[in-house]
Amino acid sequence: MSDTNPVTTLSIDALPKIATGKVRELYSVDDKTLLFVASDRISAYDVIMENGIPSKGPLLNLLSAHWFNVLPTLLPSLRTHFLTLLLPSSIPQSQHALLHNRSMQVRRLKIFPLEAIVRGYITGSAWKEYTVSGTVHSIPIAAGLRESQAFPQGAIYTPSTKAEAGENDENISPAKAADIVGQSYADRIEKLALSLYTTARDYAKDRGIIIADTKFEFGLDEETDEVVLVDEVLTPDSSRFWPADKYEVGREQESFDKQYLRDWLVKEGLKGKQGVRMPETIALETAKKYKEAFEKLTGGSWEDAVKK
């Protein structure tokens, strides 16, 4: 892991800024292209922490890039927004050290306002709902499931809205998703999200990681009417990753994601509070988990990945 301080704010003078998300900054390269820059910010329970996680931006960016390279070889009809990890020529040399590895150029697309969530295993809020009502996302589920078990019927699609900044995403039914984006796109998004999940689940399982659930976003290529995979994909920010060798049904799992941070926030009574500074140990442990996930999924060392 690099020793440099986490990058929580950054600005690029050479390009117009389009948007600031919880983690990323989006810049316009030209009409058709964006520079997608991942900071080291981390959010938990929808609140951004005051300090960052060392190298988190590059880890997320290079892991997404790995999936954008691998997934189309496994699903040949897949279209993604990924263009290149190279920086646009307008970026001055003085900013290369900051932006290299944490940026990718992507196609600028109209984003469907849906979070396409797919769950393979019953955990988190889904497990909570099931214990109360026997449903997940209001879908009736077989009785007798134990915590962290794989859904017997296979992965399930549980979409939510993409909330405006400061608001929480809201679970919606597939019918409501169809109201928002139209039936035909809603169907295509659901089908694509499920096949992406199962493809990635099998790929990750072979590398020692269980993808319990994940969130995809999609955009529309208006020229070709293609539904395109956008945003970050299959990272510890957008997914729950469990170590396969420690997996055991009937309990919560250890995970490679923000769980460590979330547990600390709950324990300290800081869940949902603004302005929280993570202690060094929490930041470093979280960085270690993200790095482990990266190395397992890509099969290469982090040190080698950042040298490129």
The site for ligand ATP (CB under 6 A) is made up of: 21-24, 26, 34, 81, 106-109, 111, 165, 217, 219, 230-231
Which of 105/253 has CB closer to ligand ATP? 105
How far apart are CB 219 and ligand ATP at their closest, in Å?
5
Q: Contact at 8 Å (CB) between 112 and 217?
A: yes
CB of 202 to ligand ATP, least distance (A): 25
Q: Judged by CB, which is closer to ligand ATP: 39, or 253?
A: 39
Strand partners, 256: none
Distance CA 283, CA 305 (A): 21
> How wide is the angle at C-alpha 116 spanned by C-alphas 100 and 35, nearest 5°?
20
The candidate with the shortest Cα–Cα distance to 239, out of 305, 191, 193, 171, is: 193
Of 299, 149, 151, 162, the C-alpha closest to 238 is 162
**Least CB distance from residue 22 to ligand ATP, whole Å?**
3
Judged by beta carbon, residue 23 or residue 91, the one nearer ligand ATP is 23
Smaller CB distance to ligand ATP: residue 159 or 219? Answer: 219
Of 60 and 305, CB closest to ligand ATP = 60
Identity of the residue, 122 or 188, whose beta carbon is nearer to ligand ATP in the bound complex = 188
Residue with tokens 């984003």: 111
Give me the least distance between CB of 221 and ligand ATP, in Å please: 10
Cα distances from 37 to residues 11, 26, 138, in angstroms, run 10, 6, 36
- CB of residue 98 to ligand ATP, shortest distance in Å: 17
Angle subtended at Cα 289 by Cα 284 and Cα 293, rounded to the nearest 5 degrees: 145
**Cα–Cα distances in Å, from 13 out to 10, 16, 28, 94, 192?**
10, 7, 11, 11, 37
Rounded to the nearest whole angstrom, what is the least distance from the CB of residue 83 to ligand ATP in the complex? 10
Q: Which of 81, 8, 77 is nearest to 38 (CA)?
A: 8
